[in-house]
């Protein structure tokens, strides 16, 4: 009997640094689609960013993990579920060139492809729409009816307007109906609820990875009784699912909702290439060790029996058996012989030596001796400008490149650009190399963070509500001060919903939906028992806000006068050497905080430090004052930058001007004392009266700014003023 030959297996080796992403990008341009199974989730995220930079024209998708431990008793975030469903839909339809999946994610059993395909439908502008049928489809797909749409998987029907947040979509949509026709489909902002732009078509994916309709719940109950002993009616999880409630951690019971589950290989198109990146075998072994450990640790709860690990996760033998159905490529960094689209080598040591007279001597020698075209990849546009200034101080003038294609087309030997590359590498056969900040600043720990999208925090609102007690005064942005009387449930046309019950003067009642908690604030004026209540519709609140606005205008006029006086003064312009600034930053023993946790308006530490350093070369006096009691290392470092305004001339003697609320320190005082030192050195005295006057002026400005901020920060200020006047 003749066997069918196994698919070809290749090995890509000698891939240093981020060259593995370039090799996969070139492979995807020749043969696609390609599914990349990475050893870790960090490698998967890195490969997606780097492959996108090397080949922007490729369609790349990442199947994220649930980001929960095996058998955890809480569910993944709805944004992750949304991204997973959208990615599985794309993989199933072959709408990708490169699909990247962590090894731990590839072992988790998934819903069958027929489930996603059967519950996916489209809505188009101008098409007829049966509202009753749409509600039935959305209920079957698992969408939740709410009073205000804020998260994926939610829907709100208000007469001729339908708000939808489809899974896999970045923004929600608003359908405007004209009788039974879809007149328009527009996106809208979750926070402001304002429409943004129009679209012609939207795709509706199922809201969950498992069905909670009648058939799905019946299948769940039947499979539960087959696998677990005891009375199921006494199990809370069983009762919740029977009532249509998706209990926390229900994802680890996903096989009970289907006759048969699927794996990643059931979604991949036939004949697609499979690339195993890194030590996938060790990653699978480690993951299964964690699975068994978690199963033994969590399996002792009789109220929550667990599925056996093979029921929920694919064993290693099953994984490799399915791998044989696809052409396979092993991608490694080793120097073993192999094949591949390119062979790379590791960069020599090129770290900046800040103690040397020329910190870039290693980089200059590499540029002169290697005869290669070198691209220096900065992490951000701001870092690119800083590095360009740094290079210029020591005689290097790199050309600019906005993308990898521009670098390839550029004939300059030294190029500077922005790239999300983790590590550099050399391609000797093609005569070029990539150098990243990881090689230039080898001793500096740099935190690579993703930009966080702006989204409303309903959980934070509920935490604030839990701190309220019956009878506490609260402030409504539009109606003023009232007393919180608890939560009530009202049955409106859209179904039952929770409302805050606020009582005003004269017994007036106001019901505020829980979804609009953002308009409610704490009362911070007089004693809560003596809080002055407003009467609805009386205009008292509008008058109080008008008085507060007048105070803000008066304070603004005072600030303008103070700033005008300070702007007329002429200070001393200091020269800044980028080398000295980098050396100081390298010796700074703390990591800058991105923002102050208790205040979203607190400036970012890196932006504050950059502002202080940049304005030091200006002759216009500028001051940065920090609270005297602040223990923040960022504030200490900022004082060292802001101290350039403290003295009209450069001096090696400490120059410190203290005030009851502010402090600015000279460079010598920062170098000789730790940031926590608050006392003035006995051997140092402040410079001439001009500095003291400037310090007093700046502190007055800060105090005036604080008064202005207190007057206009929120309606709580107005409420406080009302309380004081009433007393």
Structure confidence by residue, pLDDT tens digits, 17-40: 899 999 999 999 888 899 999 999
d(C-alpha 86, C-alpha 83), whole Å: 5
Tell whether 632 and 597 lie within a shared domain: yes
Beta carbons of 574 and 667 less than 8 angstroms apart:
no
* 525 vs 543: CA distance, rounded Å: 17
**CA pair distance 180, 159, nearest whole angstrom:** 12
Distance CA 609, CA 158 (A): 50
Residue 323: which residues within 8 A CB-CB, separation 6 or more? 265, 274, 276
Q: Is the domain of 46 the same as that of 103?
A: yes
The answer on 419 and 279 residing in a single domain is no
724: pLDDT strictly greater than 60: no
Per-residue model confidence as pLDDT tens digits over 646-696: 433 333 333 333 333 333 333 333 333 333 333 333 333 333 333 333 334
How far apart CA 195 and CA 354 sit, in angstroms, is 53
Task: For residue 548, tell me if it sits in a domain.
Answer: no
Count of domains forming the chain: 4
Look at residue 126 and tell me whether its pLDDT is greater than 80.
yes
Measure Cα distances from 418 to 50, 259, 377, 382, 397 in Å.
12, 50, 5, 9, 16
In this prediction, residue 727 carries a pLDDT of 41
Instruction: Give the percent of the chain with pLDDT over 90.
Output: 26
User: Picking from 270-274, 490-494, 603-607, which range would have the lowest pLDDT averaged per residue?
Assistant: 603-607
Residue 4 pLDDT exceeds 60 = no
| 674 and 665 Cβ atoms separated by less than 8 Å | no
Residue 590, phi-psi category: left (phi > 0), alpha (psi -120 to 50), beta (remainder)? beta
pLDDT at 636: 46
14 and 90, same structural domain? Answer: yes
Q: Which residues contact 92 (CB under 8 A, 6 or more apart)?
A: 113, 116, 117, 267
Asked if 485 and 477 touch (Cβ cutoff 8 Å), the reply is: no
What pLDDT score was predicted for residue 111? 93
Query: Is 356 among the domain residues?
Result: no
Residue 75 CA from chain centroid, whole number: 19
Instruction: Give 341 or 177, the one with higher predicted confidence.
Output: 177
pLDDT of residue 335: 66
- Residues 6+ away with beta carbon under 8 Å from 523: 472, 473, 474, 475, 481, 531, 716, 719, 723
Same domain, 128 and 270: no
* pLDDT(291) > 50: yes
pLDDT band at residue 481, thresholds of 50, 70 and 90?
confident
Q: Is 539 exposed, middle or buried (0-12, 13-18, 19+ CB in 10 A)?
A: exposed
Based on the domain organization, do 145 and 55 belong to the same domain?
no
CATH at residue 178:
3.30.2060.10
Residue 476 has pLDDT above 90, yes or no: no
Q: Are residues 150 and 89 in the same domain?
A: no
- One domain for residues 32 and 137: no
CATH code of the domain covering residue 392: 3.40.50.11140
Query: Could you give the CA distance from residue 639 to residue 626 in angstroms, rounded to a whole number?
Result: 8
Same domain as 306, residue 244: yes
What is the pLDDT confidence band of residue 356, given thresholds at 50, 70 and 90? confident
pLDDT tens column, 515-561: 777 778 777 766 777 788 888 888 888 888 888 888 888 898 888 88
Q: Give the pLDDT of residue 581.
A: 73
Does residue 370 surpass a pLDDT of 90?
no
Return the higher-pLDDT residue of 386 and 690. Answer: 386
Nearest to residue 632, comparing CAs of 670, 664, 605, 601?
Answer: 605
Q: Which pLDDT score, from 0 to 100, does residue 219 have?
A: 92
**Domain end call among 419, 440, 461:** 440
Residues 228, 221: Cα–Cα separation, whole Å? 10
Q: Is residue 268 part of a domain?
A: yes
User: Where is pLDDT greater, at 479 or 527?
Assistant: 479
* Structure-token pair, residue 6: 């196994």
Q: Domain end: 405, 421, 440, which one?
A: 440
**Distance from first CA to last CA of the chain, Å, rounded?**
100
Contacts of 134 (CB under 8 A, 6+ apart): 162
Domain-located, residue 276: yes
- 521 touches 477 (CB < 8 A): yes
396 found inside a domain = yes
Q: Which of 689, 717, 415 is nearest to 547 (CA)?
A: 717
* Residue 610 vs residue 378, higher pLDDT: 378
299 and 248 both lie in a single domain: yes
Is the pLDDT score of 643 beyond 60?
no
CA distance 686 to 164: 64
Per-residue pLDDT tens digits for 199-220: 999 999 999 999 988 888 999 9
Dist. CA 11–CA 612, nearest whole Å? 52
Closest by CA to 153, choosing from 141, 162, 169, 165, is 165
Q: Please indicate, yes or no, whether residues 238 and 93 belong to a single structural domain of this protein.
A: yes
Map tokens 């896999």 to a residue.
Answer: 168
Q: Which class for 615: exposed (0-12), middle (13-18), buried (19 or more C-beta within 10 A)?
A: buried
Q: Please list, in sequence order, all residues whose beta carbon lies within 8 angstroms of the beta carbon of residue 498, skipping any fewer than 6 positions away.
A: 487, 488, 489, 513, 514
Task: Please state, as a whole number, how many other Cβ atoms lie within 10 Å of the Cβ of residue 26.
Answer: 15
Residue by residue, DSSP assigns 374-386 as EEEEESSHHHHHH
Q: Judge whether 23 lies within some domain.
A: yes
Q: Are residues 264 and 187 in the same domain?
A: no
DSSP state of 575: P
Instruction: Decide if 661 contacts 703 (C-beta within 8 A).
Output: yes
CATH number, domain with residue 314: 3.40.50.11180
Output phi, psi for 293, to 5 deg.
-65, -45
Question: Average per-residue pLDDT in the chain?
Answer: 77
Confidence of residue 563 (pLDDT cuts 50, 70, 90): confident
- Domain assignment of residue 461, yes or no: no
CA distance 512 to 443: 54
Please tell me the predicted confidence (pLDDT) of residue 708: 44
User: What pLDDT is attached to residue 540?
Assistant: 83
Asked whether residue 706 is assigned to any structural domain, the reply reads no
pLDDT 10s digits, 397-452: 999 999 999 998 888 889 999 999 999 999 998 899 999 988 888 765 455 544 43
DSSP 618-679: SSS-----EETT---HHHHHHHHHHGGGS-SS--SS---EE-SSEEE--HHHHHHS-TT--S
What is the predicted pLDDT for the residue at 726?
44
Q: Model confidence over 233-279: pLDDT tens digits?
A: 888 888 888 888 888 889 999 999 999 999 999 999 988 999 999 89
pLDDT of residue 687: 39
Joined together, the tokens standing for residue 469 give 């007690």
Residue that finishes a domain, picked among 414, 440, 466: 440
Give 166's contacts (C-beta < 8 A, 6+ positions apart).
152, 172, 173, 202, 203, 204, 205
Alpha carbon distance 147, 156 (integer Å): 6
- Going by their DSSP bridges, the two strands 121-124 and 201-204 should be labelled as antiparallel
pLDDT of residue 594: 53
Residues in the chain: 727
State the residue range of the domain holding 314.
9-114+214-331
Percent of the chain whose pLDDT exceeds 70: 75
């Amino acid at each position: 009997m003749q066997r069918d030959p196994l698919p070809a297996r290749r090995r890509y080796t000698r891939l240093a640094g981020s060259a593995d992403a370039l090799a996969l990008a070139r492979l995807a341009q020749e043969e696609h689609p390609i599914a990349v199974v990475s050893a870790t989730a960090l490698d998967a995220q890195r490969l997606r960013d780097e492959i996108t930079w090397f080949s922007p024209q490729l369609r790349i998708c990442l199947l994220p993990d649930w980001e929960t431990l095996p058998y955890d008793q809480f569910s993944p975030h709805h944004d992750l579920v949304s991204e997973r469903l959208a990615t599985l839909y794309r993989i199933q339809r072959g709408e990708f060139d490169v699909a990247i999946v962590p090894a731990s994610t590839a072992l988790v059993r998934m819903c069958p492809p027929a489930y996603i395909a059967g519950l996916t439908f489209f809505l188009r502008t101008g098409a007829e729409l049966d509202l009753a049928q749409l509600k039935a489809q959305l209920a079957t797909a698992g969408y939740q009816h709410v009073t205000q749409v804020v998260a994926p998987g939610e829907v709100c029907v208000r007469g001729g307007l339908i708000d939808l947040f489809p899974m896999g979509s970045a923004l929600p949509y608003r359908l405007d109906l004209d009788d039974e026709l879809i007149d328009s489909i527009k996106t809208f902002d979750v926070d402001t609820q304002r429409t943004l732009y129009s679209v012609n078509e939207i795709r509706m994916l199922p809201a969950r990875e498992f069905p909670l309709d009648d058939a799905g719940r019946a299948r769940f109950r039947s499979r539960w009784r087959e696998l677990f002993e005891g009375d199921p009616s006494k199990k809370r999880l069983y009762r919740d699912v029977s009532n249509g409630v998706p209990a926390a951690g229900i994802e680890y019971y996903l096989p009970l909702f289907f006759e048969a589950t699927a794996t990643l290989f059931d979604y991949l198109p036939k004949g697609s290439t499979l690339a195993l990146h890194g030590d996938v075998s060790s990653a699978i072994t480690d993951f299964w060790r964690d699975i068994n450990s978690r199963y033994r640790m969590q399996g002792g709860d009789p109220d929550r029996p667990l599925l056996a690990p093979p029921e929920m996760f694919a064993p290693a033998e099953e994984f490799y058996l399915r791998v044989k159905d696809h052409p396979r490529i092993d991608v490694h960094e080793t120097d073993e012989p192999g094949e591949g689209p390119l062979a790379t080598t590791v960069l020599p040591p090129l770290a900046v030596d800040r103690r040397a007279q020329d910190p870039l001597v290693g980089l200059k020698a590499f540029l002169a001796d290697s005869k290669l075209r070198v691209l220096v990849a900065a992490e951000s546009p701001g870092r690119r400008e800083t590095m360009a200034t740094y290079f210029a101080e020591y005689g290097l003038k790199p050309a600019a490149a906005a993308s990898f294609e521009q670098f390839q087309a550029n004939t300059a030997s030294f190029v500077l650009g922005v790239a999300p590359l983790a590590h550099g590498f050399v391609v000797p056969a093609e005569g070029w190399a990539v150098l990243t900040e990881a090689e230039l600043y080898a001793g500096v720990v740099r935190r690579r963070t993703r930009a966080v999208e702006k989204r409303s925090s309903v959980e934070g609102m509920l935490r604030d509500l839990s701190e309220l007690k019956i009878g506490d005064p609260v402030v409504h942005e539009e109606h003023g001060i009232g007393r919180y009387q608890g939560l009530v449930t009202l049955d409106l046309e859209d179904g039952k919903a929770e409302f805050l019950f606020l009582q005003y003067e004269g017994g007036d009642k106001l019901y505020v939906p829980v979804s609009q908690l953002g308009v409610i604030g704490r009362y911070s004026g007089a004693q809560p028992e003596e809080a002055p209540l407003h009467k609805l519709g009386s205009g008292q609140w509008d008058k109080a806000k008008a008085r507060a606005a007048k105070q803000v205008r008066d304070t603004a006029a005072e600030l303008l006068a103070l700033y005008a006086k300070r702007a007329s003064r002429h200070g001393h312009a200091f020269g800044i050497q980028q080398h000295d600034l980098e050396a100081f930053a390298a010796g700074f023993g703390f990591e800058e905080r991105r923002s102050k946790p208790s205040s979203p308006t607190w400036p970012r530490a890196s932006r504050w430090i950059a502002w202080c350093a940049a304005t030091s070369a200006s002759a216009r006096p500028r001051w940065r004052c920090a609270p005297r009691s602040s223990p923040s290392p960022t504030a200490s470092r900022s004082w060292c930058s802001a101290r350039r305004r403290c003295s009209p001339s450069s001096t090696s003697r400490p120059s410190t001007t203290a005030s009851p609320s502010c402090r600015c320190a000279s460079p010598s005082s920062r170098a000789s004392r730790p940031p926590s030192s608050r006392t003035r050195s006995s051997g140092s005295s402040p410079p001439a009266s001009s500095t003291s006057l400037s310090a007093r002026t700046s502190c007055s400005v800060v105090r005036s700014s604080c008064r202005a901020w207190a007057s206009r920060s929120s309606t709580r200020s107005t409420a406080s003023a009302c309380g004081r006047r009433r007393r």
